[in-house]
Chain A
Amino acid sequence: MDVRAQIVMAFHLDKCIGCHTCSLACKNIWSDRRGTEYMWWNNVETRPGVGYPRGWEDQERYRGGGVAEGKNVNLKSMGKGRTLASLFFQPNLPRIEDYYEPFDYDYGNLAGAPEGDDQPVARALSQVSGQPIEHIQGSANWDDDLGGSRLYAASDPNLPDAAIVESYATMFMQYLPRICNHCLHPSCVASCPSRALYKRGEDGVVLVDQNTCRGWRFCISACPYKKVYFNWKSGKAEKCIFCYPRVETGQVNACAQSCVGRIRFVGVLLYDADGVAEALLQKDADLVEATRALILDPKDREVQKAAAKNGVSEQWIEAAIGSPVYALVKEFRLALPLHPEFRTMPMTYYIPSLSPVLSTMGDTYRLMEKGTISLPETLRVPVDYLARLLAGGNRGIVEEVMRKLYAVRVFMRGENLGQPADPAILQQAGLDREGALRLYRLFTIAGFNERNVIPPQQREGQTPELRKQEAGFGILQRVKSERNDLTRRGGKDD
């Protein structure tokens, strides 16, 4: 048993209101530099839809993620020999149009235009070329709220039947916020010929070493979630850094901190690193269970001992015990990984949204009466859809989650009305009174420090020799991230 710690985010999709506050918080801190305009390390997409970049789930096109071949999980993209042969042209790389050509407006013209007969306008300008854009072709959320669109929604590869979104009676819509999943078996890391990407041993955060990256671009297509981006200005890859400068000091990620719907939970999971490769060889439908099996109970003495032996501090073990993410993922089995069948073992988890029941009047009545969903088929968001998104196609797993979510709701309704619900409802869903109350609390009134349990890392204690003789002062090095070789700019900076 090789026990390691991973810092993990979980999302309660029911509560996401699609406000994009998270995306903006992230962008303002990390990706508002030249070359990163088109990057959204955190993005929120409307589902069903094609997402950002367009069609990222289509691995026949981008060839991201892993495939189980015999006793190994190999990259879907290419082997090592072909990697070397593709250095000069990487065949699976998305084009900027697959994201979108970033734009800004010529606001200066509003105030500075010469006098004339017409109102001056602010034209859209490309942030890549600086040229005017006549027709903006897209953005990171161009299909926002278009859950019924033939152009976008109907192309969602997870839809069991595209006709669903075309009829008013059956169409549905929900939001899916996405960050880098900081996977346990990250294919971005595996694909890098320069070995610039790495997973941090202490907290599992996956990072790109900007000093080592040479811009070969394999990680960008190898990540099945398209969460590594290419900075066209610096010529290097960049990605979500799980706000490590904040998380290291016990603060919450910018996206989670700013989340309006308070849908995000951040906490520590302990897992068995020895089992990862084996677990990834399972069939698609068994991957969720295999992942759950790797997550260890932090209260178990043996686990604690093994963790301590690996250098996991007491504070971290404590945080793992109080981790809301552990409760949601393992204890209550509610939060599911996004597309586990991409075989990178993603470490962000989603509680699927509890959707209304699509029904004739009788069904709704029965639901109110009996308090449970008689048939998962009656859910407005097709269970098959969620299963393809979050469970490798395994309906049973999603149905179990739905039963629990309904049971909590029915139970709490009874409590609030003073007409306690039939205890069998909780029991059938695999919950008890105490558990239901805990979930209710986590989903509704839990405060900031209950939703986010982040232990500080005390880096100074881990490598004291690095700080010796600095007397509290480090040496500040100016970062030169822009090209300054024999160069003059090709275009004017705005």
Chain B
Amino acid sequence: MNTFIFVALPYLVLALLFLVTIYRYLTNRLTWSAYSTELLERRLLYWGSNPWHYGIIPLLLFHLVPFLFPGLAAGFLGNQQTLLVLESLGLGLALLALLGILILTLRRVNTAMLKRSTYFSDWLILFLLLVQVGSGVYIAVALRWGSLWYLHAAVPYFWSIWSANPQPEYLADLPAVVKVHAACAFLILGVLPFTKLVHLLYLPIDFLKDQPILYRWRGRE
């Protein structure tokens, strides 16, 4: 089981993520969209989408920083006070995201207008994200100082995956809920290129530097 979750799954996921995303980008950009349903329903979306995104984006960064800058993260987490601040901040954001994704799920279930613009893939990612955030909140509450062992167990494990020398031992002895959290994360990454989640792979920032009016001339770039 451990080998499957911590060795086979990550490589499968990475392969899917890179190959399918590139294939989809090259062959079918017409479906590359956030598939907003704000036009059809906006009251609940406001209370769902905002907390969700404002919760989950910083959380994702919190997961990414120790991976990229382990030294920096160790500095912050080594100090009792900053550790406490970071842990509470993380829990707060996770609760915000959980609230958001719950509202978004209920909104999909209850709004007749959305029936025909909701797809199997939408249900799938809603389910996976619910499990992911739910298990994350549980870990934050029940297994304290998660950020510390994330730094000392998960980060080296990720690096071992990245350097093609997988060492599942790092995570093998952790509680089941952590394994669920990890497996679910891999699943989300794996289905990402097949779903509307692709919208997060494209950051709309070109416009920050551009002139307001864009012209296109034939035969000129």
Contacts and interface: CB of A to CB of B under 8 A. Distances in A.
A200 B218 CA distance: 8
Contacts of A236: 30, 33
B115 A80 contact: no
Given A192-B207, A193-B204, A487 B119 contact: yes
B91 to A, nearest CB: 22
Contacts of B49: 88-89
Q: Which of A88, A216, A233 has the most CB of B within 10 A?
A: A88
Contact of B39 (A96, A189, A197, A198): A96
Nearest to B36: A215
B61 to A, nearest CB: 15
Contacts of A480: 28, 30-31
A301 interface: no
A356 interface: no
Contact of A486 (B33, B34, B54, B120): B120
Given A80-B208, A190-B213, A234-B33, A487 B120 contact: yes
B34 A463 contact: no
Given A216-B204, A485-B196, A198 B215 contact: yes
B213 A202 contact: no
Nearest to B125: A486
A129 interface: yes
A265 interface: no
B42 A95 contact: yes
Interface stretch (A10-18, A206-214, A424-432): A206-214
Contacts of A210: 30
B117 interface: yes
A488 B124 CA distance: 12
B25 to A, nearest CB: 10
B143 interface: no
A232 interface: yes
Contact of B35 (A80, A87, A215, A489): A215
Contacts of A213: 33
Contacts of B160: none
B2 interface: no
Contacts of A469: none
Contacts of A95: 39, 42
Interface string B160-203: 00000000000000000000000000000001001110010010
A93 interface: yes
Nearest to A211: B29
A356 B11 CA distance: 78
Given A194-B202, A487-B119, 18 more contacts: A80-B207, A84-B204, A88-B53, A89-B42, A89-B49, A95-B39, A96-B40, A129-B116, A193-B204, A212-B29, A214-B34, A215-B35, A232-B37, A234-B31, A235-B34, A465-B219, A485-B119, A485-B195
Interface of B: 28-40, 42, 45-46, 49-50, 52-54, 112-121, 124, 191, 194-196, 199, 202, 204-208, 210, 212-220
30 contacts: A83-B207, A88-B49, A89-B45, A89-B50, A131-B115, A186-B213, A193-B204, A193-B206, A194-B204, A198-B216, A201-B218, A202-B218, A214-B32, A214-B33, A214-B204, A215-B36, A215-B199, A216-B36, A232-B39, A232-B40, A232-B117, A233-B117, A235-B31, A481-B30, A482-B31, A483-B119, A486-B119, A486-B124, A486-B194, A490-B116
